[in-house]
Amino acid sequence: MDYFKKAIVLSLKEVTNLPEDEIAGFIEIPPDIKMGDYAFPCYSLSKTLKKSPAIIATELLSAIRPVAPVREVKALGPYLNFFIDKAIFSENISKKIFEEKDRYGCSAIGAGKTIVVDYSSPNIAKHLAVHHLRSALIGSGVYNVYKTLGYKCVGINHLGDWGTQFGQLIVAYKKWGGENAHTSYTVTDLNDLYVKFHQEAEKNPGLEGEAREWFKKLEAGDAEARELWQHFKDISLKEFQKIYDMLGIHFDAFTGESFYNTLVEDTVNRIKEKGLTRISEEALIIDLEPYNMPPCLLRKKDDATLYATRDIAAAEYRKKTYNFERMIYVVGSEQKLHFRQVFKALELMGHDWANHCIHVDFGLMKFKEGKMSTRKGNVVLLEDLLVEAVERIRKIIEEKNPSLENKETVAHEVGIGAIIFANLSTKRNKDVVFDWDAVLNFEGETGPYVQYTHARLCSILRKYGKPVATDIQYELLKEEETVILVKILSQFPLIIRKASEAYEPSLISNYLIDVCSSLNRFYNAHRVLSDDEELTRARILLVDATRQVIKNGLNILGMHAPERM
């Protein structure tokens, strides 16, 4: 709870006798600065006192004794509104940001607790494509939000590295792999082999039988099958890591489906022992009809396990290994039913932590102008998208600022940042309509706009050329545009907490747009560098505070904050 809110809570406690936590939960930020800095809605007292909220607000007003930092209290309809002394407010927030710097917005509310985030999860032996992007970016954003709040975060890339397709790939590799396959293969080569297998299997159905035999060998631990499978995995991870590095995305573990194979048998047996299973059409299921869901399939009639079986085993392993406070699955909206079934199965197994498992779903990424050019037909490869973004920004830099130092670094940071921001500025459950002109616009609500605003603030600080100080006359920071900017900066820690509660990195992105818009209104209305030394020192502190908040917000999103653009 911040200093100002705490003062208001204590004042209200005296006149309402409500617990501090309850009062704090009711306090809101008014939508308009003219309505005050904080508001207490009196609806919560209406039932108890049997009076209208407006009358309660008026009565509280007459009983409350405002003390610093509260300057004034007003009853506005059903709300009791509090106005903070502007100078005290500006001093408190500016000093806090200046002192905490990169730590501003951080908290210790998650200290001693672990959050597991499952994100990205591509299939090995296939390219990372655009449809993999949203899970990776949203998952990384959620990871960073919780890390900022002091949680120990464990990022898991649950690779799709098991299934009958690997029997098919082994057959194709052995038949058409070539002499140098073991040393020079790429994911493109593996993908081509996979396609060739299916083309040849149409002419020779016997290949499917060979593939099943090889997958059985793989499941049984056959040395040659395991060696080839590991080779395919190593090739894939090398390419994946290159793209994750471009995006600045980190994982703590790459434990895919294969990792849980040895655990599945025990998991299924324990589910059976609890009497939760039955046979349906020769398959082993958990009947979820009483919960208005289709059955959860554990084993097919050929005894093979399914995604649900492995996800149940994985959840138990993760709880045992990490003792998580919450486990978050960042997976597309089309898997909603799957996770409802898995979480219900865990609950029926007696795991009271099942309701700490969260499916964070998201919409699709679509292209406004149809398909983007790609070297693999109708699949838009993620690497192609990232390379094109960097190239387009490089051209813009050459046109607008050809003498810029470190052009390549800036082009990379802004190009990749534009892709990240375009995905994380849209609410995750909505589709992203990707339009190059909009995404790379330096004047729209985009990543380049936010990064450019940060660079512009750095430029002002360079022109000032002196150390930023906090021993300023805070009463000079009094104009409406200035107070609004300070107020927005003060809300950063709250926005981070809201983003964690909603698993919604877009709250950070949209907040940064608000910061930049407010900064531009302030900058257009008031000169920062002027002949008035005291006024300049005061406004420079505000410029530096704004720069710091933008940088911290960009870092949570996984973006860089260039100092020159």
C-alpha separations of 393 from 240, 397, 447 in Å: 24, 6, 12
Q: Domain containing 52 — which CATH number? A: 3.30.1360.70
- Residue 281 included in any domain: no
- Residue 197 included in any domain: yes
Last residue of a domain, one of 84, 108, 134: 84
- Residue 191 included in any domain: yes
360 and 140 Cβ atoms separated by less than 8 Å: no
Sequence-distant (6+) residues with CB within 8 A of 157 are 119, 120, 121, 251, 253, 254, 255, 256
Q: Which structural domain, as residue segments, surrounds residue 48?
A: 3-84
42: tokens are: 């009196």
Nearest CA among 71, 91, 76 for reference residue 32: 76
Using alpha carbons only, what angle is made at residue 503 by residues 152 and 146, rounded to the nearest 5 degrees? 20
Half-sphere exposure of 75 (CA within 13 A, CB side): 16
Last residue of a domain, one of 217, 247, 277: 247
255: tokens are: 């434990």
Determine phi and psi for 66, rounding to 5 degrees: -70, 130
Instruction: Return the exposure string of 521-547: e unless at least 16 CB atoms fall within 10 Å of the residue's CB, then b.
Output: ebbeeeebeeeeeebbbbbbbbbbbbb
- Residue 283 included in any domain: no
Last residue of a domain, one of 230, 247, 264: 247
235: tokens are: 């090739």
**Count of domains in the chain?**
2
- Residue 207 included in any domain: yes
237 and 124 Cβ atoms separated by less than 8 Å: yes
User: How many other CB atoms sit within 10 Å of the CB of residue 479?
Assistant: 13
> The whole model's pTM is what?
0.92
From first to last of its 565 residues, the chain has per-residue pLDDT tens of 678 899 999 999 989 988 999 999 999 989 888 899 999 999 989 888 899 999 999 999 999 988 889 999 999 999 999 999 999 999 999 999 999 999 999 999 999 999 999 999 999 999 999 989 999 999 999 999 999 999 999 999 999 999 889 999 999 999 998 766 666 789 999 989 989 999 999 999 999 999 999 998 998 899 999 999 999 999 999 999 999 999 999 999 999 999 998 899 999 999 999 999 999 988 999 999 999 999 999 988 777 778 899 999 999 999 999 999 999 999 999 999 999 999 999 999 999 999 999 999 999 888 876 544 444 445 789 999 999 999 999 999 999 999 999 999 999 999 999 999 999 999 999 998 888 888 998 888 999 999 999 999 999 999 999 999 999 999 999 999 999 999 999 999 999 999 999 999 999 999 999 999 999 999 999 999 999 999 999 999 999 999 999 999 999 999 999 999 9
